Structure 1
């Protein structure tokens, strides 16, 4: 394919990513518009809502100014002032990253992958800015500056994953200027760090990734169990909201978009700091203080319990850190091939804790935000505390896991072999 064809395909794929991302919310909202309102309400309102949901998923803040009638019905004085909505539905964020990764993999298979990446990024930025302009009104005002930057960064992250996966090492003769720079950077790293240092760094990355995956996986299992155990409360919240069939389906779809957020919040609960559902609230293994919160049915699965149950939850990151270190230790010991182990094993274990702490802290940051006025401006976990607790818990457990393995068998020395030959 020539450069023009590659550019057009990249632009088309970026267009589909934005269109599908908006359509995920627009389709159920359109059904709600047709069934509940009987086409009597302006459809543009639902278009703006779908665009705002998509922009939130890409990290764009929305400034909300409620009409006076709505403010009077809520009875909240803080609702009269404009307030930001900043919480991102991480399911849409993940969708944008996955679509970018798919585009990056396809672009990496072509000769003009740099052109494809550039055109895809420009297309995503332009489309999101146009969508933000079309959704701005007196009630909802997305940040145009963020709309011009953040969706492009999210899509670029996916593109980078796809390109690096498709081209593990870009040859200097085919990668152009960027390919030569990446090759030069890799050569510099190879010169600066020997294979033993790289083995320790690789073990830290693999172990930290395994620890984060294990904590998130167990958090998802715990959230599922809590949904089943609190099914009656969730059902009563649905009934109390009186949403109807279509409204209930739309609410369910909206809650599904926030399921990854709830998984991260559950992971923060297991790590220890927990999370907040409004300023002054605290939901953690050792303390649960909740004020008035929105009656979203899925919030009926919020983890809580006595100290014994919370203590069992705190064991999860410790056990996961131990098993993650045990998983990567044999390969690391083999790579060190007789070198001094203690120092390097401790460094690898500390690296596992740091990788896990940074990853969970970033996820906690991405999952938190503001969902309303007043005290609802603080929702989600504290990323600094989550990162610190995870680093300490996983790091200490990883050190125990690194120290608990058996030492490799020593190879016979040359003198021993020669003595054996003489005996024969």
Structure 2
């Protein structure tokens, strides 16, 4: 039988509950570097180096693989392996806005897929190993920008190309690393960081700007759906082009990487098509809902998805109404989110949404346009200003149609005017 009282001479009872040590250090852990004794900015430098290296390798490795696969060809006996790395670096720089020179030909069409890859890698690297501090952020942006400039120098870029590498590297790293650091659990919300700016902006303008961002994102989503329909409809032409190229496995992989790099450009061109402005793939061509003026195109499978002359018709002339429908959706959003106090608040918010949409779409379309060759192929894409104005106008009309009839202060103002009741 065991004793019921407490034991005095036996093995002491160990409390197996987890002990929690509380620190009286008021400084949060994210203000210190992951490396013992290292300054805070070291994490930003490492995150930027990791992002630049990973995004570069994704493009350089397929080029090196293509060189290895074709190195036994006697026609490539004078080509060194470093040339393949140069192809990858040229594509990486092109994604940051630096034109590539292929002999006498200048390729200035930015592959937005490469830009998106660099943004995502910066985001993932900063979220995983960055520190949510200003020194870390500034050091990361500076390091990534320096890497872009160094790659440009090693690739023989000079003059305006170096300036483009500087600006492109800074923009990509600022957005990618910034969003990654803000995604860390200990980081302050973006609304808190920007309170000093948006708190001085009237509420209708803030809400309208948010509606403009929503409109631009919605237009890109609709354009992606249209692009999917184009690819499905043109799959036979795409297959014929691929078979005509006669590529081996390695060549197919390299072609697939190049196609994915420019696929977002096709989505942006579809956005220009939705607005009614259309786009061109070579001087003298036009692809729009009002009609198609074709021409000789490069043997690129992705171009087989472009709409043909049989697509344009009376039904497609109504395609720009899609932009107005997106504006109506934004008008519903503004009506739900905005608490109007004055009769012009709703109109001001709709105008802000239209202007924001126009600016964002114009920047996106301009970035997705450029040249892919000499002569007529130096003009590929759409007119950013025109597409931006058309998209902004369509969103403005749709938003006004939905937001104004349900606005109480505006109805009261109109009622007083109709009764000729002075203010």
TM-score, shorter chain, exceeding 0.5:
yes
1:389 Cα deviation after fit = 0.6
What's 2:373 paired with? 372
Are 2:80 and 1:58 equivalent residues in the alignment? no
1:240 Cα deviation after fit = 1.3
Contact 1:52 1:142 in 2 (8 A): no
Give TM-score, length-normalised by structure 2. Answer: 0.79
Are 2:155 and 1:155 equivalent residues in the alignment? no
1:283 Cα deviation after fit = 1.1
1:404 Cα deviation after fit = 4.3
1:45 Cα deviation after fit = 1.0
1:96 Cα deviation after fit = 2.3
Please point out which of 314, 319, 332 is paired with 2:320. Answer: 314
Are 2:151 and 1:131 equivalent residues in the alignment? yes
What's 2:69 paired with? 35
The one-character-per-residue Cα deviations of 1:25-73 (angstroms, maximum 9, x if unpaired) are: 12222222222333854211110000000000011122332xxxxxxxx
Are 2:257 and 1:236 equivalent residues in the alignment? no
Matched residues in 1 for 2:68 and 2:315: separation?
47
Aligned ranges 1:267-278 → 2 under 5 Å: 267-278=271-282
Q: Gaps spanning 5+ residues in structure 2: where? A: 1-31, 412-423
Matched residues in 1 for 2:191 and 2:346: separation?
32
The one-character-per-residue Cα deviations of 1:60-113 (angstroms, maximum 9, x if unpaired) are: 122332xxxxxxxxxxxxxxxx34211111112122223344455578854xx2
1:395 Cα deviation after fit = 0.7
1:207 Cα deviation after fit = 1.7
The one-character-per-residue Cα deviations of 1:347-376 (angstroms, maximum 9, x if unpaired) are: 111221111111111100111111111111
Matched residues in 2 for 1:169 and 1:324: separation?
23
Please point out which of 134, 137, 141 is paired with 1:117. Answer: 137
Please point out which of 53, 76, 89 is paired with 1:19. Answer: 53
User: Are the structure 2 counterparts of residues 106 and 33 from structure 1 closer, same or farther at C-alpha, using a change threshold of 3 Å?
Assistant: closer
User: Are the structure 2 counterparts of residues 348 and 231 from structure 1 closer, same or farther at C-alpha, using a change threshold of 3 Å?
Assistant: same
Matched residues in 1 for 2:215 and 2:373: separation?
34
Aligned ranges 1:217-366 → 2 under 5 Å: 217-304=221-308, 305-332=311-338, 335-336=339-340, 339-341=341-343, 343-366=344-367
Please point out which of 93, 106, 110 is paired with 1:84. Answer: 106
Contact 1:207 1:328 in 2 (8 A): yes
User: Are the structure 2 counterparts of residues 161 and 323 from structure 1 closer, same or farther at C-alpha, using a change threshold of 3 Å?
Assistant: same
SS at match of 2:297: coil
1:344 Cα deviation after fit = 1.2
Matched residues in 2 for 1:235 and 1:43: separation?
31
User: Are the structure 2 counterparts of residues 377 and 141 from structure 1 closer, same or farther at C-alpha, using a change threshold of 3 Å?
Assistant: farther
SS at match of 1:340: coil
User: Are the structure 2 counterparts of residues 378 and 7 from structure 1 closer, same or farther at C-alpha, using a change threshold of 3 Å?
Assistant: same
User: Are the structure 2 counterparts of residues 123 and 290 from structure 1 closer, same or farther at C-alpha, using a change threshold of 3 Å?
Assistant: same
Contact 2:108 2:372 in 1 (8 A): yes
Give TM-score, length-normalised by structure 1. Answer: 0.79
1:17 Cα deviation after fit = 1.1
Q: Number of matched residues?
A: 367
Matched residues in 2 for 1:406 and 1:126: separation?
52
Q: Gaps spanning 5+ residues in structure 1: where? A: 66-81, 172-178, 411-424
1:157 Cα deviation after fit = 2.8
Contact 1:121 1:152 in 2 (8 A): yes
Contact 1:322 1:397 in 2 (8 A): yes
User: Are the structure 2 counterparts of residues 107 and 251 from structure 1 closer, same or farther at C-alpha, using a change threshold of 3 Å?
Assistant: closer
Over alpha carbons, which structure has the higher Rg?
Answer: 2
Q: Please, what is the CA RMSD of the aligned residues?
A: 2.8
